[in-house]
Amino acid sequence: MDLPNNTIDRVCRIFGCLESLEERQVDFVSSKDLAQAIGTTNDTIRKDISLLGVTGYTRKGYSVVSLKKELGQTLKLDKKRKACIVGLGRLGTALLDYERFKQDGFEIVAGFDNSINKLERIKTHIDVFAISEMENIIAQKSIELGIITVPANNAQEVADELIKAGVSGILNFSPEKIVVPKEIIYLDMDFTSALRFIAARFITNKLRKSRVA
């Protein structure tokens, strides 16, 4: 399959909306509602959904439950995935305990840091290890995703090790830019760039947009 990046981005957000609609026991949702929630047009939503080959119910909109199920199956969002966090500073430890991840299908199964001190002080039910153990643990636990929350300066090094250890996707919260081989799926979540994006948009007059990250 070969979908537009933007479509994938939007579908992931749509999936999140469906999740909360499901919790609130809403049965049907229209392309217009979804469009409003994620900040796009109803045409785009319908096109996205149709690109995935999924079909709704005329006149009533889409069945929340079945749309969620179908999108999930198509993009394999229903599969549970294991992730680890490297860098257990304040952000890293906050993410370690971010309960939402688990309920959304991403289980954080390990944390890594180089400071013995931190490893000892951390109170969490998730196992934490020294970075030197990363390669073993990742292989052993079949971890697919790496979340980088180290300070700048050794983010690249950490990324290289994650890749060597076998993860296929990396989410980078550090401000440092990272270069990865193109078979690795990589997403940059630099907070400063995000704030700058907003600030820069103050002086342009375009419509808002989600910007995947």
Partner DNA sequence: GGGTGTGAAGATTTTCACAGCA
Partner DNA sequence: TGCTGTGAAAATCTTCACACCC
Q: List interacting residues with DNA (CB under 7 A).
A: 4-7, 30-32, 40-44, 46-47, 49-50, 55-62
How near is the Cβ of 204 to DNA at its closest, in Å?
A: 11
Tokens for 159?
Answer: 């990324």
Applying CB under 8 A, does 1 fall inside the site for its own copies?
yes
d(CA 2, CA 57): 25
Applying CB under 8 A, does 94 fall inside the site for its own copies?
yes
Alpha-carbon dihedral sign for residues 138, 141, 146, 149: negative
CA 2 centroid distance within chain: 19
Which among its own copies, DNA, none contacts residue 32 (Cβ within 5 to 8 A by kind)? DNA
Number of residues that bind its own copies (CB under 8 A): 78
d(CA 56, CA 66): 9
DSSP strand pairing (106-113 vs 28-29): unpaired
- Which residue, 4 or 127, has its beta carbon nearer to its own copies? 4
d(CA 30, CA 41): 11
- Which residue, 139 or 195, has its beta carbon nearer to its own copies? 195
How near is the Cβ of 96 to its own copies at its closest, in Å?
A: 9
- Which residue, 24 or 100, has its beta carbon nearer to DNA? 24
- Which residue, 62 or 106, has its beta carbon nearer to DNA? 62
**Cβ pair 54, 34 in contact under 8 A:** no
Which among its own copies, DNA, none contacts residue 84 (Cβ within 5 to 8 A by kind)? none
How near is the Cβ of 166 to DNA at its closest, in Å?
A: 28
**Cβ pair 105, 77 in contact under 8 A:** yes
